[in-house]
Amino acid sequence: MKAMLFGAIGLLLGAIVATFLGLRGGAPWEEAMLLGLPLGFAQAALCLAARFPARAAPLAAGNVLRLAATHLSAALVSTGAWILTGFALARLLEQFPGHAGSFARFQREAASLAVTGVLIFLLAVTAHYLIIALESAREAEVRELSARMLAREAELRALRAQVDPHFLFNCLNSIATLTAEDPGGARRMCLQLAGFLRRSLALGQQDHISLGEELALAGEYLAIESIRFGPRLKFVESVEDGCRDCPVPPLLLQPVVENAVRHGIAQILEGGTIRIGAHRDLGGIILTVDNPRDPERPAGRGTGVGLENVRGRLRALHGERAGIEMTSTATLVTVRLFIPWVGDSDRGAEPRDIGKESDGAL
Amino acid sequence: MVPSELLKVLIVDDEELARRGLRRDLAADPAIEVLAECPDGFEAVRAATELKPDVVLLDIQMPRLNGFEVLELLDPEIAVIFVTAHDDHAVRAFEVNAVDYLLKPVDPQRLSDALGRARERLRRREPMPVEALAAASRPAGVPLGRILVRDGPQVHVLPVETIDYIEAQDDYIAVHSAGRSHLKQQTIAAVEQRLDSSRFVRIHRSYLLNLDRLARIELIAKDSRIAILRDGTRLPLSRAGHTRLQALL
């Protein structure tokens, strides 16, 4: 493909030079071809080589003069070498019979050929810049697409993990027991479970929800779990004023809260308190979830996947600006999430920066 | 026991609601007596030792000791019926070993069928495949982090890093840890298989050594060596054991 392009450009430029020499310079047709074709291919090679200075000096506002100087001098030097090659070829041709005076004929056209050569070189540089721009636009598009796909995938995974089968079957078991001893309680638990499931499905379909909505979902979830766990599960929420309006990706906090129940409360017979906190900081929101842990239970058992999922989604949406970390002491596990408040402190940054932002993460 | 006799049942589940549900279902059958409800594995082992149930209904996901760990500590002649809400891994282990299990919410008919089979099992004096279940219950390649031993009604949890060495004594193993020796009904080969093989070395037919405890090896006669531990304990070292030890050091 490249060789064909080179051949085509070489032939075209050769024809132009030959036409110059033949029509304007009055050179015999054969001589015009003999000089024109090699020069045409030489010029084609120079045009393709113009890619290197174009790549080395990318277009950017502010350095137009320097760019112009760079490319003009490249054009002058390469065209100068090209014309000299022409002189040498013409001189060589003179050695053969029937070509006397070819040097002089070439000399007459040298100036106009030089001007044409410079123009063609500069044209080639421009073409290269165009190609580079097109390529990088396509690359950016591909990157953005893959980042979006990643985000979508993570969301789907999160959704699937959302309705944790262990949670669901244990709830049904609680309801089954309640139906016999407390029909009213069974009915309430059914309604709560239905409400939770319906809300998590609805929220999962949106791009962004408010932190308030996410917290309400966590509240519903914990209310259901506290029927199951009874007095073992206590829950405290402390949310700073104004935080509830912060837009957050849906179901981001939920797996963290579920982890707190599954790996915290469910592993301690005496139970304990899950604390959810939210406050503003550094142009975003810091969410914390902490839960008690059994000091004898090996740390980090089975908690990795859920958090990795949350980390992946945060990164796909906000790049390095967001983050999640887990710290634990002998008796307490704390998960902290930082989510930038897009459109709050920095209105310029749109959430659609997905592609660019997640570059580092890919 | 005779099939028509009263079947004595222990219920083990950390969720009170789940225990109440099972108790209610069992109350319908006059041939069944619920001896006690236990909220965790330690209680279960204690109650099983003191009350001698025929059947234990055993939840799998519980704090501190899971159902499989409890199973290891129960007398093998007790018929265990596992109860789980959702645990693919466990369910596969049950199917492979033909062990009875119930899924939550528990279907009363299935519960009564399982109890019927438990009566059969008890009459035939068919022991639970404890070792196979214990092995199947752990994800492949994850070595044991602790050994559980029973001392009467009490359960001791021995983290593997506290174990000095394990000694075979007929059908039992003696686990030596922190200056004490704990007996457990298990073969040394079975425990060797489940421990981290880069940490515990079979230095002799009857001895499994925690590599961290080894102080030095002493030649006491031609081709006869002993291992000396940091606390001065002297253990016999077979020729094969010496080769295995050399490979790790």
Q: Of A307, A338, A285, which Cα lies nearest the Cα of A157?
A: A307
Helix, strand or coil, per DSSP, at residue B211: helix
Query: With 80 as the cut, is the pLDDT of residue B7 above it?
Result: yes
Q: Is B20 on the interface with A (CB under 8 A)?
A: yes
Res A158: pLDDT: 57
Q: What is the mean pLDDT of residues A311-333?
A: 85
CA distance B50 to chain A (A): 22
Res B249: pLDDT: 81
Q: Is B29 on the interface with A (CB under 8 A)?
A: no
Q: Give the separation between CA B181 and CA B174, rounded to whole angstroms.
A: 6
Of A180, A229, A294, the CB nearest to B15: A229
Chain A residue numbers with beta carbons less than 8 Å from the beta carbon of B14 are 266, 269
CB contact under 8 A, B39 and A165: no
At A103, the pLDDT band (50, 70, 90 cuts) reads confident
Q: What is the pLDDT of residues A217-254, one digit of tens each?
A: 999 999 999 999 999 999 999 999 989 999 998 888 99
Apex CA A270: angle with CA A267 and CA A273, to 5°? 80
CB contact under 8 A, A174 and B17: yes
Q: Of B14, B57, B49, which Cα lies nearest the Cα of B32?
A: B57
Chain B residue numbers with beta carbons less than 8 Å from the beta carbon of A226 are none
Res A187: pLDDT: 95
Res A154: pLDDT: 64
Q: What is the mean pLDDT of residues B42-68?
A: 94
Helix, strand or coil, per DSSP, at residue B106: coil
CA distance B20 to chain A (A): 7
Domains located in chain B, CATH noted: 7-137 (3.40.50.2300), 146-248 (2.40.50.1020)
Res A213: pLDDT: 95
Query: With 70 as the cut, is the pLDDT of residue A349 above it?
Result: no
A347-351, B69-73, B242-246: segment of lowest average pLDDT: A347-351
Q: What percent of chain A has pLDDT over 90?
A: 31
CA distance A169 to chain B (A): 5
Res A356: pLDDT: 37
State the distance between the two ends of chain A, measured CA to CA, in whole angstroms: 31
Q: What percent of chain B has pLDDT over 70?
A: 98
Alpha helices by DSSP H, listed for B79-178, are: 88-97, 108-123, 130-136
Res B133: pLDDT: 83
Which of the pair, A99 or A19, is modelled with greater confidence? A19
Query: Alpha-carbon dihedral of residues B35, B39, B43, B48, nearest 10 degrees?
Result: 30
CA distance A326 to chain B (A): 22
Q: Which residue of chain A has the CA closest to B19?
A: A177
Query: With 50 as the cut, is the pLDDT of residue A64 above it?
Result: yes
Between chain A and chain B, the number of residue pairs with CB atoms below 8 A apart is 67
Q: What is the mean pLDDT of residues A272-285?
A: 93
Amino acid at residue number B47: A
Q: Which residue of chain A has the CA closest to B21?
A: A177
Q: Give the separation between CA B79 and CA B92, rounded to whole angstroms.
A: 19
Rounded to 5 degrees, φ, ψ at A335 are -115, 130
Query: With 50 as the cut, is the pLDDT of residue A362 above it?
Result: no
Q: What percent of chain A has pLDDT over 70?
A: 88
Query: With 90 as the cut, is the pLDDT of residue A195 above it?
Result: yes
Q: Which of the listed ranges A314-318, B77-81, B219-223 does the model predict with the highest average pLDDT? A: B77-81
Q: Give the separation between CA A260 and CA A99, rounded to whole angstroms.
A: 93
Query: With 60 as the cut, is the pLDDT of residue B151 above it?
Result: yes
Interface test with A, best of B104, B106, B107 (most A CBs within 10 A): B104
Res A354: pLDDT: 36
Asked, as a colleague might, if the bond just before B39 is cis with ω within 30 of 0, I would say no
At A355, the pLDDT band (50, 70, 90 cuts) reads very low
Res A161: pLDDT: 53
Of A170, A173, A296, the CB nearest to B64: A296
CA distance A295 to chain B (A): 10
Res A1: pLDDT: 72
Res A186: pLDDT: 95
CA distance A194 to chain B (A): 17
Mean pLDDT of chain A: 83
Query: With 60 as the cut, is the pLDDT of residue B3 above it?
Result: no
Res A299: pLDDT: 59
Q: Is B103 on the interface with A (CB under 8 A)?
A: yes
Of B14, B87, B104, the CB nearest to A173: B104
Of B40, B105, B145, the CB nearest to A176: B105
Burial zone of A228 (CB within 10 Å; 0-12 exposed, 13-18 middle, 19+ buried): buried
Query: With 60 as the cut, is the pLDDT of residue A127 above it?
Result: yes
Residue A63 token pair? 């350095």
Of A173, A266, A294, the CB nearest to B105: A173
Q: Give the separation between CA A221 and CA A216, rounded to whole angstroms.
A: 9
At B137, the pLDDT band (50, 70, 90 cuts) reads confident
> How much is the ipTM here?
0.83
Q: What is the mean pLDDT of residues B125-147?
A: 82
Query: With 70 as the cut, is the pLDDT of residue A348 above it?
Result: no
At B127, the pLDDT band (50, 70, 90 cuts) reads confident
Mean pLDDT of chain B: 91
Query: With 50 as the cut, is the pLDDT of residue B225 above it?
Result: yes
Res A61: pLDDT: 60
Chain B residue numbers with beta carbons less than 8 Å from the beta carbon of A166 are 61, 85-87
Interface test with A, best of B15, B19, B196 (most A CBs within 10 A): B15
Q: What is the mean pLDDT of residues B44-70?
A: 94
Q: What is the pLDDT of residues A132-180, one digit of tens each?
A: 889 888 988 888 887 777 777 666 665 555 678 889 999 999 999 999 9
At A303, the pLDDT band (50, 70, 90 cuts) reads low
Res A139: pLDDT: 86
Rounded to 5 degrees, φ, ψ at B15 are -95, 125
